[in-house]
Structure 1
Amino acid sequence: MKGIVNAMVIVLFVFNVSNANAGVEEYSCDAGSGSPIQSLVVNAVVNIPNSAAAGTIVWRAPERAMNYNCWRGAEAFSTYYFFNPKNKNFGSEIEVGVTINGVDYLPSSTEKYAHSFASKMCGNGQSCANSYASYRMSMFVVKKSNSGSTSKTKVIDINNYIPYEIGKDKNSSNTSVRITGLEANLLPCTSTVIIIPNTIDFGEIRSTGATPELEIQRENFTLSEQRDCQSASTYGLNGVLRPAANANLYGSMGTLVPKDNDSVGISIFDVENNTPVRFNNEFVVIPKVGTISNSKQFEARLKWRTKAPKAGRFNAGAVLDVYYK
């Protein structure tokens, strides 16, 4: 009789279950409003003259105060600005740069910049308080092509460009800034701008009856523009007025004060609409026109800043940066 053999085979399956996230530092950053993308509306057309040399900064945007939040990290970490994260290429004519806290950065030469903002974070599943950081930013456009290389008007679309993102690494948890409404035009034109007179002499001033804010004298000067276009091209000129090295700036309206004698101050006015020109702020010099010769009238108004002025000469200068618009 054959025996019946009952066999029991025991197979041991061993599983090693591990946490896929172990040792991985999670984090997220946003623009302070819960959104990962912060849109900045610029609504500007940058007109670039044919005479501009390669490397010339042909336009700057007004500076903006910005902020961002980060949270959900097991350890503290530093944040970085990653420039041009989508690797946008505007061709051989221009490059778009970013100014962070007063320092210019071009994506072609700087990939990232450390903000050195470290935050104490918390682990997964815990209640995390976000950490806040603020900074100042602006944008600028640099011409890459050589002067004289523009034979006809060319439009370059900069709309929806992402100049940088902020985070620990390049990933989807970062916050980014998107620019809308920005366009650049290369023009086969050059404008020559002169100021007449370029030196204003207020002459001899008597201090009798000096009173703070009392106007002493007014003097006019003219900004003249001449275009070399073969045919009329429609564009305008914007400007930014800033104090020279021999002057300081005071007051919300922008009063130019000589460093060698602060008894007086000078304000610049647009004669056409009788409004003050704010220093360090962009303003319209010549509106968008197609005429070859154009001009703009300004007025320098001298006023007392004290009732006990100091005797002697004074000198104060201002620099006008002009941009094609």
Structure 2
Amino acid sequence: MKGIVNAIVIVLFIFNVSNAYAYANAEEYSCDTGAGASKDQSLVVNAVVNIPDSAAAGTIVWRAPERAMSYNCWRGVEAFSTYYFFNPKNKNFGSEIEVGVTINGVDYLPSSTEKYAHSFASKMCGLGQTCANSYASYRMSMFVVKKSNSGSTSKTKVIDINNYIPYEVGKSKNSSNTSVRITGLEAKLLPCTSTVMIIPNTIDFGEIRSTGATPELEIQRENFTLSEQRDCQSASTYGLNGVLRPAANANLYDSMGTLVPKDNDSVGISIFDVENNTPVRFNNEFVVIPKVGTISNSKQFEARLKWRTKAPKAGRFNAGAVLDVYYK
């Protein structure tokens, strides 16, 4: 009889342990980066964002390169939503700037958006079962917005953004979330104004004969100059970076960045840096003016026209490009 009693005790013990595991699993919630299962991910930026006094309030003065990211969250038997929580530590950079986050191409400012629901996970498992993880990949970037009005910077001021946590991912603001930390970033407000001009701002390729047209055959080259003039209240060393984007009347054709007119796709235009003889890739940041302290600066570019077909259609074509310039 003693043996029977022992058997009953063992069965009850196993049953109780199983129930305790299921209950704990149902309440469990945690997130990691999905890469090495770390809770925090450090992104090294190593950049100084130079902000001119001439920039108006609300101007985006800098954008970081886009990065591919991922997170991995899980919970037991209950459904849950996963959120991005922006500026979870409530960091305040003062009256001059605000740091925003771009998620999958959409900009978010912590002052106007506290959180954003990215995904919803329905019931993933039953009692006693192994729960699946909720994994997601996304693209992120950061940007800096000037909050102060133009004409309000009388002397150079440095703002430390190092170790800033722009957002965390999870169900709620708690220690089970995964967070992103930025290192090596600072902003510098400059009592300086740069005026940038493109000369000429319109390029006329003139009349083009279609005889002998061959795809990728170069037709003509035309130069233009980007000129910068600084009006600084004190000596300031900085550079200009730019991002070239197609205007509304043009499309991009290939990875090299061939600009194709919407009204006549018989031709394409590529932009080259004359000094290095290298193509300027559209939608990618590049150096316009290196970091210098001189007042007047310039850079030479070249527009190269080429055929895209052996049977071009007659008529005019128009294609534009927009150059966004950032202080570096």
TM-score, with normalisation over the residues of structure 2?
0.90
Q: Deviations over 1:251-304 (max 9, x none)?
A: 111110000000000000000010100000000000000000000000000011
Distance 1:116 1:143 in 2: 31
- Within 5 A, what are the aligned runs for 1:1-325? 25-34=27-36, 35-118=38-121, 120-122=123-125, 126-325=129-328
> Which segments of 5 or more consecutive residues in structure 1 lack a partner in the other structure?
none
Cα deviation for residue 16 of structure 1 reads 15
In the superposition, relative to structure 1, how do residues 14 and 60 fare at CA in structure 2: closer, same or farther (>3 Å)? closer
- Which has the larger share of helix? 2
Distance 2:292 2:2 in 1: 113
Cα deviation for residue 165 of structure 1 reads 0.5
Cα deviation for residue 60 of structure 1 reads 1.1
**Number of residue pairs the alignment of both structures matches:** 325
Preserved contact between residue 88 and residue 168 of structure 2 (Cα < 8 Å): yes
Preserved contact between residue 50 and residue 190 of structure 2 (Cα < 8 Å): yes
Preserved contact between residue 72 and residue 124 of structure 1 (Cα < 8 Å): no
Distance 2:187 2:7 in 1: 84
Preserved contact between residue 26 and residue 74 of structure 1 (Cα < 8 Å): no
Preserved contact between residue 239 and residue 322 of structure 1 (Cα < 8 Å): yes
For structure 1, which segment, 279-288 or 56-65, has the greater mean C-alpha deviation from structure 2 after superposition? Answer: 56-65
In the superposition, relative to structure 1, how do residues 14 and 230 fare at CA in structure 2: closer, same or farther (>3 Å)? closer
Distance 2:7 2:285 in 1: 92
Give secondary structure in 2 for the equivalent of 1:14.
helix
Preserved contact between residue 26 and residue 76 of structure 2 (Cα < 8 Å): no
Preserved contact between residue 65 and residue 141 of structure 2 (Cα < 8 Å): yes
Give secondary structure in 2 for the equivalent of 1:315.
coil
TM-score, with normalisation over the residues of structure 1?
0.91
Cα deviation for residue 70 of structure 1 reads 1.3
In the superposition, relative to structure 1, how do residues 126 and 304 fare at CA in structure 2: closer, same or farther (>3 Å)? same
In the superposition, relative to structure 1, how do residues 119 and 67 fare at CA in structure 2: closer, same or farther (>3 Å)? farther
In the superposition, relative to structure 1, how do residues 7 and 91 fare at CA in structure 2: closer, same or farther (>3 Å)? closer
In the superposition, relative to structure 1, how do residues 102 and 4 fare at CA in structure 2: closer, same or farther (>3 Å)? closer
For structure 1, which segment, 114-123 or 153-162, has the greater mean C-alpha deviation from structure 2 after superposition? Answer: 114-123
Preserved contact between residue 56 and residue 148 of structure 2 (Cα < 8 Å): yes
In the superposition, relative to structure 1, how do residues 314 and 26 fare at CA in structure 2: closer, same or farther (>3 Å)? same
Give secondary structure in 2 for the equivalent of 1:66.
strand
In the superposition, relative to structure 1, how do residues 92 and 5 fare at CA in structure 2: closer, same or farther (>3 Å)? closer
Cα deviation for residue 22 of structure 1 reads 6.8
Cα deviation for residue 71 of structure 1 reads 1.8
Cα deviation for residue 185 of structure 1 reads 0.3
In the superposition, relative to structure 1, how do residues 9 and 149 fare at CA in structure 2: closer, same or farther (>3 Å)? closer
For structure 1, which segment, 58-67 or 180-189, has the greater mean C-alpha deviation from structure 2 after superposition? Answer: 58-67
Higher Cα radius of gyration: 1
In the superposition, relative to structure 1, how do residues 218 and 13 fare at CA in structure 2: closer, same or farther (>3 Å)? closer
For structure 1, which segment, 56-65 or 138-147, has the greater mean C-alpha deviation from structure 2 after superposition? Answer: 56-65
For structure 1, which segment, 251-260 or 110-119, has the greater mean C-alpha deviation from structure 2 after superposition? Answer: 110-119
Cα deviation for residue 45 of structure 1 reads 1.0
The CA RMSD measured in Å over matched residues stands at: 6.5
